[in-house]
Amino acid sequence: MMQALILENDQVRYVRDYPVPAPAEDEALIRVSLAGICTTDLEMMKGYHPEFRGVLGHEFVGIVERAPLAAWHGRRVVGSINIGCNTCEVCRCQGPEHCPNRRVLGIIGKDGTFAEYVALPLNNLLAVPDNVPDEAAVFTEPLAAALRIREQAMVRPSAKTAVIGPGRLGLLVGQVLALDGGDVVMIGRTRPSLERPLALGLKSGLADDFADGSFDFIVEATGNEAGWNTAMRLIRPSGVIILKSTFVGRPQIAMSEVVVREITVIGSRCGPFAPALRLLARRQVNTQALIDAEYPLRQGIIALTHAAKPGVRKVLLRP
């Protein structure tokens, strides 16, 4: 048995007697070293996937304790979160991210990482470079999500670019988009929310500081409906909006405005882990500045409460 944070009926409980996962034939058993709390975890507690029952969490770094291939034993790893059926056309042609039968770590049908152990297929695992500490490696999944934008849309370095929401994910997105010298502005709702991006060397401002149609390319990463409304006001005609927010609810969207102004809207979710690990190994992205607190897993309820407070970035859990 092991300790874990489990979600049942939108309520999280800390337990000390949850069964250690029994790995399938293609899976490794991984001892979790460090896990990160993200906005999706907090939204799960509000009913984002109400059918889910089990261990929360999907951002992690850990050590392989048992695996079908001996070469993986003792390796420090991170793992991608989507597990496809590997038989449907979507899996064969595109990968597991949009498999209609997929399981998603700590979100859909698969116990997550807020526990002492997690099981994942070997195909999902990537070894962590020796020069990347656990406190950086735990950011691999959200950093990969930030890199997904670069796969989906060509962002001209000369484009006026904004990231709305200088939070956990937004600060990673801003750093990634600024790597090629782009004109990137982090946009927040309050002056205190701009302190962290300014410390990272990112241009920052409040939404009210900018006129309508100020930007060519906008990433919306607020995690709330207000972020969409801000993005629509600030995007120029024929501009591009990347949506990164996942939250409970069905926001009202003025579709006619999207049509008349010919706005391109792109949903963006999971991204590539290998490039994320390369950026971390080269120290091209600052993750240390995003860490606000670390708690032992037994204080997981306190950690989740802390993570949900306005202005808090990354809170880590150590089993």
C-alpha–C-alpha distance, residues 44 and 9, integer Å: 10
Range of the domain at 256: 146-267
- Give the per-residue pLDDT at 62: 98
Please, how many CA atoms are within 13 Å of residue 213, restricted to the half-sphere of its CB? 7
| Co-location of 21 and 116 in the same domain | yes
Cα–Cα nearest to 45, from 106, 96, 90, 4 = 106
Residue 88 within a domain: yes
- Give the per-residue pLDDT at 126: 98
| Co-location of 128 and 13 in the same domain | yes
Cα–Cα nearest to 300, from 168, 138, 170, 113 = 113
C-alpha–C-alpha distance, residues 83 and 91, integer Å: 10
| Co-location of 12 and 115 in the same domain | yes
C-alpha–C-alpha distance, residues 88 and 74, integer Å: 33
Domain count, the chain: 2
CATH code, domain carrying 198? 3.40.50.720
The strand pair at 2-8 and 82-83 is best described as unpaired
Residue 170 within a domain: yes
| Co-location of 135 and 9 in the same domain | yes
| Co-location of 75 and 134 in the same domain | yes
| Co-location of 131 and 154 in the same domain | no
| Co-location of 18 and 122 in the same domain | yes
| Segments of the chain with pLDDT less than 70 | none
Residue 210 within a domain: yes
49-98 confidence digits (pLDDT tens): 999 999 999 999 999 999 999 999 999 999 999 999 989 999 988 899 99
The DSSP string of 96-111 is GGG-TT-EEETTBEE-
